[in-house]
Amino acid sequence: MAVQSLARFQRTESDSAKSHVLLGDIYHQLEREDDAQTEYQKALALEPGNAAAMLGSASAYLSNNNIEKAKDTARAALERSPQDPELNLIVAETMVAQFQFADAEPYLLKGLNVKPQMQGHVHALLGKVYAETGKTNDAIRQLKLGESSDDTGSIHYLLARLYRETGDTKNASAALEQVKTIKQNRRERIKTVEDPDLSSLESPAAAPSTP
């Protein structure tokens, strides 16, 4: 449905910054980060400084493990919107990836204002930051708040480690059991997702198909 809606939009605004951002967002969701980056750059060529394109570009760089580019892009965007929670979150993620844990904390605190479905991830990152900076109790509290975002078992594994450090073997064992459950559930729900045909969107002026 999103692809069909964008195709209709492109017929009216075939080469607008907004259409390139929307297509970039679709590619990003499909984990086609190079294609996403191409669309975001087209948007920025049309509208330098476009906030949505800069956010999308930084996100795509991060997903593609281009940490420096992600950090530079997000920081450039933060100069215009210093309180933007998603941009702050991206900068924090790049710092965590580079083991700059203490420096990441103020960005994560601003990132707590992201939309509710992303807040668990922010709490989990804060938990990791506190775990790496010796704030064990704060780390446990934040990781518990971030449990809902644990789709790999990594959050519960870290919780188990921290519980053991505090001598809480009961909760450590329970956390390890959760790791096993999460991994099993993940294996069961992995399915092949067909990549939708976006060829009609990649033309600057997609015309309606003839019946």
In a domain, 108, yes or no: no
Distance CA 180, CA 175 (A): 9
Q: Residue 171: what pLDDT?
A: 96
Q: Residue 16: what pLDDT?
A: 86
Domain that holds residue 10: 1-81
Q: Is the dihedral of CA 146, 72, 61, 100 positive or negative?
A: negative
In a domain, 25, yes or no: yes
| Three-class HEC string of 159-190 | HHHHHHHCCCHHHHHHHHHHHHHHHHHHHHHC
In a domain, 66, yes or no: yes
Asked if 119 contacts 112 with a C-beta cutoff of 8 angstroms, the reply is yes
In a domain, 130, yes or no: no
- For the stretch 131-159, pLDDT in tens is 999 999 999 999 999 999 998 999 999 99
Q: How far is CA 48 from CA 4, 55, 104, in A?
A: 27, 13, 28
Q: Residue 50: what pLDDT?
A: 95
E strand segments, the chain: none
Q: Residue 36: what pLDDT?
A: 94
CATH of the domain at 60: 1.25.40.10
In a domain, 6, yes or no: yes
Read off φ and ψ for residue 163, nearest 5 degrees.
Answer: -60, -40
Q: Residue 207: what pLDDT?
A: 39
How many degrees, rounded to 5, is the angle at CA 62 between CA 5 and CA 21? 25
Going by C-alpha positions, the residue among 210, 196, 198, 201 that lies closest to residue 14 is 201
Q: What is the pLDDT along the chain (211 residues), one digit of tens a residue?
A: 555 555 555 555 567 899 899 889 999 998 999 999 999 999 999 999 999 999 999 999 999 999 999 999 999 999 999 999 999 999 999 999 999 999 999 999 999 999 999 999 999 999 999 999 999 999 999 999 999 999 899 999 999 999 999 999 999 999 999 999 999 888 877 654 445 554 444 444 443 444 4
Domain count, the chain: 1
In a domain, 10, yes or no: yes
In a domain, 61, yes or no: yes
In a domain, 102, yes or no: no
- For the stretch 23-40, pLDDT in tens is 899 999 989 999 999 999
